[in-house]
Amino acid sequence: MRIGVLALQGAVREHIRHIELSGHEGLPIKKVEQLNEIDGLILPGGESTTLRRLMSLYGFDKALADSDLPIFGTCAGLIVLAKDIVGEAGYLSKLDISVERNSFGRQVDSFESELVIKGVADDIEGVFIRAPHIAEVYGNAQILSEVEGKIVAVKQDQYLGVSFHPELTDDYRVTSYFIDEIVAKHKKASA
Ligand code: GLN
**What's the gap in Å between 47 CA and the centre of ligand 1?**
5
Mean pLDDT of 2-16: 96
Residue 103: count other Cβ atoms within 10 Å of its Cβ: 15
Give the domain range for residue 110: 2-190
Q: How many CB atoms lie within 10 A of CB 124?
A: 21
**Count of CB atoms situated within 10 Å of the CB of 170:** 8
pLDDT at 105: 67
47 annotated as ligand-binding = yes
Task: Provide mean pLDDT across the span 67-88.
Answer: 97
Question: How many domains does the chain contain in total?
Answer: 1
Q: What is the pLDDT of residue 104?
A: 83
The answer, yes or no, to whether any atom of ligand 1 lies below 6 A from the CB of 88, is no
Q: How far is the CA of 45 from the centre of ligand 1 (A)?
A: 6
Instruction: Determine if residue 59 is left, alpha or beta; phi over 0 gives left, psi from -120 to 50 gives alpha, anything else beta.
Output: left
Q: Of 95, 50, 37, 53, whose CA–CA distance to 71 is shortest?
A: 95
**Mean pLDDT value across residues 33-58:** 97
Distance 63 CA to ligand 1 centre (A): 23
pLDDT in tens, 86-106: 999 999 999 999 999 998 866
Three-class DSSP category at 29: strand
Mean pLDDT of 115-144: 96
Query: Do 2 and 38 meet the contact criterion of CB atoms below 8 Å apart?
Result: yes
pLDDT, averaged across the chain: 96
**Residue 48 Cβ contacting ligand 1 at under 6 Å:** yes
Question: Is the minimum distance from the CB of 163 to ligand 1 under 6 angstroms?
Answer: no
Q: What is the CATH number of the domain that holds 174?
A: 3.40.50.880
Q: Which residues are catalytic?
A: 75, 165, 167
